[in-house]
A = this chain, B = another copy of it.
Amino acid sequence: MGDSPDLLPGTLYMMILRSLNPGPLHGYAIAKRIREWSKGDLQIEDGSLYPALNRMLLKGWLKAEWGVTDNNRRARFYRLTAAGRKRLEAESSAFNKMIRAIQLVMRTS
């Protein structure tokens, strides 16, 4: 606790966008999906998630509407806008490029 964060800062938007690519989800389900896809290695704190979702709404990457889950619970469903889909492409390619550059640094003798 206190040393390294759970997440690599700057990758949360990208993963949220990715998780919504197949279709709308509510917030709680986004965190769950990312946790599952990462086999439990990535745990999104909800104190990180909801503020991030709100920033993403403001940026126009997502739209939200209230609805009801399979479990008959009230929940807010988020879906990608066209801008969000575009952003996902941009973020993932920038991320891949960045990772390759970092790995060059880390592996160069």
A contacts, CB < 8 Å to B = 4-5, 8-11, 14-15, 18-19, 22, 34, 37-39, 41-42, 91-92, 94-95, 97-102, 104-106, 108-109
CA distance A22 to B101 in the complex (A): 19
Residues of B within 8 A of A106 (CB): 14-15, 18, 92, 95
Contact A8 B105 (CB under 8 A): no
Which applies to chain A's interface (DSSP): helix, strand, loop or mixed? helix
Given known A4-B94, A94-B4, contact A102–B10 (CB-CB < 8 A): no
What residues of B have a CB within 8 angstroms of the CB of A92 in the complex?
106
Q: Residues of B contacting A9 with CB < 8 Å? A: 8-10
In the complex, the answer to whether A10 meets B5 with C-beta atoms within 8 Å is yes
Asked if residues B10 and A101 are in contact (CB atoms below 8 Å), the reply is: no
A104 touches B39 (CB 8 A): yes
